[in-house]
Amino acid sequence: MADTTEQTEQRECRTIHAGGEWLTAASGATREILDPADGCPFAVVAEGDEKDADLAVAAARAAFDEGDWPRTPAVERAALLRRVADLLIRDRERLGLLESRDAGKTLEEGRVDIDCVADAFRYFAGLVAAEAPGRVVDAGSSDVHSVVVHEPIGVCALITPWNYPLLQASWKIAPALAAGNTFVVKPSEITPLTTIALIDLLAEAGLPAGVANIVTGPGHTVGARLAEHPDVDLVSFTGGLVSGVKVAQAAAPTVKKVALELGGKNPNVVFADACATPEGFDTAVDQALNAAFIHSGQVCSAGSRLIVEESVRDRFVEELARRAGKIRLGRGTESGVECGPLVSEQQRAKTEEYVASALAEGAVLRSGGRRPDPAPERPESGYFYEPTVLDRCHREMRVVREEVFGPVLTVETFRTEDEAVALANDTEYGLAGGVWTSDAGRARRVAGRLRHGTVWINDFHPYLPQAEWGGFGKSGVGRELGPAGLAEYRESKHVYQNLAPQPVRWFAG
């Protein structure tokens, strides 16, 4: 049986797991984990450094080179992943609550995250279990058997972000394990608790010691060491652009495989025909709110740029701002709360700075733009910020160009389809985007012209484990989810067998 929350907190800061053992940091350092709803500490974890990273990598290396997991049949690996999914659902309430307190999201969002994590484990279990043992290559001779087989890549360093702690970890851990790899995961130092809990569930499911390892600690020490470590074969990083560039640079001297997901500045394009009926108008407004403000906008795929056709702009923005002002802010565990706090005081200060710069550059504030008044469900010490709508924005504004990662929605307008596409593509990022129209032909045309890794038509935010997730431009390289997500954690080997070998007689002798 997995630990209860109380048992996990009583581990005496043993939150580093290497070779099957829970350990304190080699330095003895610790970090308090704060509840963003009130700024108060509610857990303490080990603050690892390079020495702890080295220890975890050594354990993963030994488990890969000398252990049984890489050679375990795919059907057995799949069975373990399914057991993990069952354990996640068993502990859904506990883990959802932990995710809510750690990341500040609502309890319902935390529960949905756990469901999605279980779905990811089940998907990769089914994918690897159903695969053929190899791809036969026609060598043009009955005397030759030629096949391409897939093998695990080795030791994987998995560096995950703070906004969706367990979900983003599962997008890396599930395919890594399905492929037969061992790994070291470094969760965000701000929100590590559910990833720590997952390591317990993996052990409970029967994963051999040393296959799954975790080091809690900051990116500039633990993350940097994992990225450069010569015994790491792959590094997968989800986070900000600046940190992602550093990861790629650190990995380059050892020519290890690198997968990067670096965020986005995602357009949500609304054509007037989508708003031609009351139902269509209400749906488009509702989805624009969902795109921008779910999890307080702390989502890499957030639809933070509303690009709306000029003929409906005034009516659309007026209703959008009215409804944004009614979003109920508070502690995620409180009944009726629709939006929680930002994850940290630093993140709120960053959001405030972006809003101030936008107003100085000429944006018009339609709603929000300040810290809310304190309330019983919303302590003054919490990191709350009102959902903010900024109208009359243009591409020269920082708030339009750069990723805010807060509850801020900018509004731009267009008159023609070509102008809408040009605005949507005018970004260094290319992660995701949305298109709203009742014209099926236009929907296909615009979606085809958008340079973004995911395009939603008349929807925003859903993802499918079977699909691929990734972006263009500075949104990163590599893919997660789907068959491509599994391929990231594999290497191909060509096995050529000559059944009737003959001398070639090319050389004298």
Active site residues: 261, 300
Q: In terms of Cα–Cα distance, which of 227, 226, 174, 230 is closest to 56?
A: 226
> Using a CB cutoff of 8 Å and minimum separation of 24, what contacts does 456-461 make?
456/432, 458/274, 459/287, 459/434, 460/268, 460/287, 460/288, 460/290, 460/291, 460/303, 460/434, 461/290, 461/291, 461/294, 461/299, 461/301, 461/303
The contacts of residue 63 (CB under 8 Å, 6+ apart) are 19, 69, 182, 208, 209, 210, 211
DSSP 3-state of 388: strand
Kindly state the tokens that stand for 248: 């790629």
Burial category of 440 from C-beta neighbours within 10 Å (exposed 0-12, middle 13-18, buried 19 and up): exposed
Q: What separation, in Å, do the N-terminal and C-terminal C-alpha atoms of the chain show?
A: 69
DSSP, collapsed to helix, strand or coil, labels residue 469 as: strand
Which pairs from 140-146 meet CB under 8 Å and 24+ separation? Answer: 143/498, 143/499, 143/500, 144/496, 144/497, 144/498, 144/499, 145/496, 145/497, 145/499, 146/494, 146/495, 146/496, 146/497
| Residue 72 to residue 411: CA distance in whole angstroms | 53
- Dig out the tokens for 191 from the structure: 């929100």
Q: DSSP string covering 433-467, please? A: EEEE-S-HHHHHHHHHH--SSEEEES--S---TTS
Cα gap 53→172, rounded to integer Å: 18
Q: In this structure, are residues 221 and 50 in contact, taking their beta carbons and an 8 Å threshold?
A: yes
Q: Are strands 234-238 and 257-261 parallel, antiparallel or unpaired?
A: parallel
